[in-house]
Amino acid sequence: MPTILADSFTAALAKLTNEEQKQAKLTAFDLQTDPNRPGLQFHRIDASKDLNFWSVRVNRDLRIIIHKTGYSVMLAYVDHHDAAYAWAERRRIEAHPRTGAIQIVEVRERVEEIVIQPAPAQQPELPFPVPAAPSVSALPLFSKLSTDDVLSIGVPEDWIKDVLDASEDKFFTLANHLPQEAAEALLEYAATGVLSKPAPVTTDAYSHPDSQRRFRILEGHEELAAALDQPFEKWAVFLHPSQRVLVDRNFSGPVRVVGSAGTGKTVVALHRVARILRHEPQARVLLTTFSEPLATALKRKLGVLLADTPSLADRVTVSSFEQAATDLFALMTGRKAYLVGREKLRALINDAATPGGITKYTPQFLNSEWEHVIDAWQVDSAETYATVPRMGRKNRLGAKQREELWTAFAEVRRQLRAKALLTAADLFTVVTDHFRDRADRPYTQVVVDEAQDLGVAELRFLNAIVPNRPDSLFFAGDIGQRIFQQPFSWKGLGIDVRGRSFTLKVNYRTSHQIRRMADRLLPESVRDVDGEEDQRKGTVSVFDGIEPVIVVAPTIEEEATAASQFLRSLLEQGIRANEIGIFCRSNDQIARASKVAELAAVGTVSSLAGRGPEEAVLIGTMHLAKGLEFRAVLIVACDEGVLPLAARINDVSDEFELDEVVATERQLLYVAATRARDHLFVSAVAPGSEFLEDLADA
């Protein structure tokens, strides 16, 4: 008799104490071994309209709710006696009459009248005004939809009238009572005016894509143990249908998965790696991203996903772009790669330009030309420089100017080689050249997270270390979160994702209010150099929350007071310190972030030190926030001259580069803000960053 695990069980299990979880798991294992064992003390829940609900005794007060049919046992819920029975009495489990998906449905007549829930505990009084929450309409949201329309998207029959009558101020409360696929479709309709009706699915009920987002059929004790050992990591057990199709599908070429923050791109990348390892015994996979801290986080998450078969991890390497190249360089040459530091490189460029009398070009221009043209495209001769595309750069250069500049850049190249130093781009190129014409490549597949921050040399490198097969490259990223690299043509480098670029639209991490505010920082549509579009409009969050707080204070001291009051209120609401992050633009503002924690009397850890103990909040720069998530985020010191950072503005060489710097600084604030799930606080000293006007624009 198969055991079925429901996501409602894992969610309820996560709320129990550690000791209660252990006892519940032991009982769950007993159920899986012999569901008919008399010692389990089954009791039918007669007050439920679904007579397949039974309770199973864990201890004197704890009960597991199972749904038992002739051919399966489902672990549906777990809680203390009265709460467990109450949950079962107001639910039924059934196949939806139109879609065929198995749903856990709240019995409408057992639910009290849907009313607007009182707002969660208000933020503490702050000494400065904050933007008011936008007003909402009391008119029906779905008056243009028919009964058949809402039935087609999975709304249970006894909830149809509530949906058709729902106004904007009631909808999020109502959505909490609906199956997830129905709530998502209605949210998308409210945001875009388009109702996406799913195509008919001809399969057994538990294989339906919408069933698989909340139920999993388990094969044995190891699989059950792996699923229950990580109750907080629901993504490791259940996948959204839009994610699953990208994980399981076979593609005819390189694939790119895009979507705004919180839509599960990393989850798709991780499941793609796991699928490759499980289905291809000879696969050797590189899972890579732009930084080692983020690679460490990916390795931990992959360990969760492979918990039932940990030996699979032996065939995957998880590292940053640069570390992956460094490791291969060492294997190729038997020696360490020595990389030149940025300041040393800039000194070499300046010294090389001076003897030649190349003084009409500013240091900013020379540094930029090296970074974005010479080094990025690995220009190694005057002939190559004469023809290389200088995409988007508004300082046009004629043949004589390029010839003149090349004398300085050639001298920089000579000095680097004489000192056996490499730039990061040189490192990638050396490894690329080594493997380009070899039949034996170090990896069979590469899966990339945060792919928007790939540079030219990195992309060439990744393409060179895998064989020429359709499924060798899989990219996940968000064009709107690009914070390190200037744009360039992937197609021009032989990586053509046209027709294989997919956008995820469901945001699981960030509340409606935080997502809506953060989205004001970016355009509704972001298009890359090759014309591929990331259409951000229509992305929906699956839960409601609290309006973010924006404070522009007269002084640093008053900003710190307001931020510490906000932080203290979070702790008083029961949010643990290690579920909170405090971020600033650069290390120069870290002391201001630390002062906030000090005034709130809470300990701190740095981003590089990991998440830390429960009594410590995490403090770091916005760059290091990438890849992390928190229940609450405070972003402080968003001052004029700090965001965008004056040092970066002063370093630009032309108008195009200025636009790029401002865009990436804006995207950096977006990244930091979207690390927050429930609470967001943004502060500055007057007049504040120009970006705050966009955030506050209701």
Tens digits of per-residue pLDDT, 178-189? Answer: 999 999 899 888
Does one domain contain both 355 and 440? no
- Side by side, which strands form the sheet with 616-621? 549-553, 676-685, 630-635, 580-584, 616-621, 603-606
Q: Are 482 and 662 in contact (CB under 8 A)?
A: no
Report the pLDDT value the prediction gives residue 674, as an integer from 0 to 100: 92
Report the pLDDT value the prediction gives residue 395, as an integer from 0 to 100: 57
Residues above pLDDT 90, as percent of the chain: 55
What Å distances lie between residue 692 and 7, 191, 613, 638, 682, CA to CA? 39, 24, 32, 8, 8
Residue 441: both structure tokens together: 């490549």
Does one domain contain both 248 and 346? no
Report the pLDDT value the prediction gives residue 480, as an integer from 0 to 100: 61
Phi-psi region of 612 (alpha: psi -120 to 50; beta: other; left: phi over 0): left
Residues above pLDDT 70, as percent of the chain: 88
106 pLDDT above the threshold of 60? yes
Neighbouring residues of 492: CB distance < 8 A, sequence distance ≥ 6: 530
Does one domain contain both 453 and 588? no
Mean pLDDT over 353-377 rounds to 83
Residue 258 lies in a domain: yes
* 660 against 118, higher pLDDT: 660
609 pLDDT above the threshold of 50? no
Does one domain contain both 528 and 553? no
Q: Are 455 and 425 in contact (CB under 8 A)?
A: yes
**DSSP labels, 442-482:** S-SEEEEESGGG--HHHHHHHHHTS-S-TTSEEEE--GGG-
Q: What is the CATH number of the domain that holds 519?
A: 3.40.50.300
Does one domain contain both 378 and 305? no
Of 361, 381, 413, the last residue of a domain is 413
Residue 194 lies in a domain: no
Residue 619 lies in a domain: yes
* 596 against 173, higher pLDDT: 596
pLDDT-derived band of residue 41, with 50, 70 and 90 as boundaries? confident
394 pLDDT above the threshold of 60? no
pLDDT-derived band of residue 446, with 50, 70 and 90 as boundaries? very high
Task: Kindly tell me the burial class for residue 468, based on how many C-beta atoms sit within 10 Å of its own C-beta (0-12, 13-18, 19 or more).
Answer: exposed
Query: Domain of 632?
Result: 546-695
Residue 184 lies in a domain: no
Residue 44 lies in a domain: no
35 pLDDT above the threshold of 80? no
What count of other Cβ atoms lies within 10 Å of the Cβ of residue 382? 15
Neighbouring residues of 138: CB distance < 8 A, sequence distance ≥ 6: 167, 168, 169
First to last CA, the chain: 55
Report the pLDDT value the prediction gives residue 329, as an integer from 0 to 100: 97
pLDDT digits (tens, 9 = 90+) for 148-183: 999 999 999 999 999 999 887 777 788 889 999 999
Q: Are 84 and 77 in contact (CB under 8 A)?
A: yes
Report the pLDDT value the prediction gives residue 152, as an integer from 0 to 100: 95
Mean pLDDT over 327-350 rounds to 94
Residue 380: both structure tokens together: 């190694």
630 pLDDT above the threshold of 70? yes
484 pLDDT above the threshold of 70? no
Residue 455 lies in a domain: yes
Mean pLDDT over 4-17 rounds to 92
Neighbouring residues of 119: CB distance < 8 A, sequence distance ≥ 6: 546
pLDDT-derived band of residue 529, with 50, 70 and 90 as boundaries? low
Question: In sequence order, what are the beta bridge partners of 540?
Answer: 506
Q: Which of 121-130, 280-289, 294-303 has the lowest mean pLDDT?
A: 121-130
* 585 against 545, higher pLDDT: 585
Q: Which of 426-435, 475-484, 518-527 has the lowest mean pLDDT?
A: 475-484
What Å distances lie between residue 485 and 98, 154, 364, 673, CA to CA? 47, 42, 17, 20
Binding site as annotated, residues: 259-266
> CA 475, 481, 486: angle at the middle one, nearest 5?
85
Residue 130 lies in a domain: no
Report the pLDDT value the prediction gives residue 115, as an integer from 0 to 100: 53
Mean pLDDT estimate for the chain: 87
The secondary structure element, H or E, covering residue 293 is: helix 292-305
Parallel, antiparallel or unpaired: strands 316-320 and 445-449:
unpaired
pLDDT digits (tens, 9 = 90+) for 52-69: 999 999 999 999 999 998
Neighbouring residues of 152: CB distance < 8 A, sequence distance ≥ 6: 98, 99, 197, 198
Q: Are 559 and 636 in contact (CB under 8 A)?
A: yes
Does one domain contain both 308 and 451? yes
The sign of the CA dihedral 59, 63, 64, 69 is positive
Report the pLDDT value the prediction gives residue 614, as an integer from 0 to 100: 62
Report the pLDDT value the prediction gives residue 37, as an integer from 0 to 100: 73
Does one domain contain both 323 and 407? no
Binding site as annotated, residues for ATP: 259-266
Q: Are 517 and 541 in contact (CB under 8 A)?
A: no
Does one domain contain both 266 and 366? no
132 pLDDT above the threshold of 50? no
Distance from C-alpha of 328 to C-alpha of 306, rounded to nearest angstrom: 25
530 pLDDT above the threshold of 80? no
Does one domain contain both 557 and 665? yes
pLDDT digits (tens, 9 = 90+) for 12-34: 998 898 899 999 999 999 888 87
The amino acid sitting at 218 is L
Of 535, 557, 586, the last residue of a domain is 535
For residue 387, the number of C-alpha atoms closer than 13 Å in the C-beta half-sphere is 4
Does one domain contain both 306 and 382? no
Radius of gyration of the chain (CA): 28
Report the pLDDT value the prediction gives residue 120, as an integer from 0 to 100: 47
Which residue has 């195509």 as its token pair? 199
Distance from C-alpha of 58 to C-alpha of 81, rounded to nearest angstrom: 10
Distance from C-alpha of 212 to C-alpha of 239, rounded to nearest angstrom: 7
Q: Are 453 and 423 in contact (CB under 8 A)?
A: no
Of 413, 445, 465, the last residue of a domain is 413
Mean pLDDT over 540-554 rounds to 88
352 pLDDT above the threshold of 70? yes
Q: Are 687 and 539 in contact (CB under 8 A)?
A: no
Q: Using the CB atoms, write b or e for 480-497: b if 16+ within 10 Å.
A: bbbbebbbbebeeeebeb
Map residue 372 onto helix, strand or coil: helix
Map residue 601 onto helix, strand or coil: coil
- Side by side, which strands form the sheet with 42-44? 42-44, 53-57, 62-68, 73-80, 3-6, 215-218
**DSSP labels, 214-241:** TEEEE-SHHHHHHHHT-TT-GGGT---H
Q: Using the CB atoms, write b or e for 120-136: b if 16+ within 10 Å.
A: eeebeebeeebeeeeee
Residue 486 lies in a domain: yes
Does one domain contain both 371 and 503? no
Does one domain contain both 461 and 521? yes
The total domain count for the chain is 3
Q: Are 290 and 448 in contact (CB under 8 A)?
A: no
Q: How many helices and strands (H and E) does the chain possess?
A: 26, 24
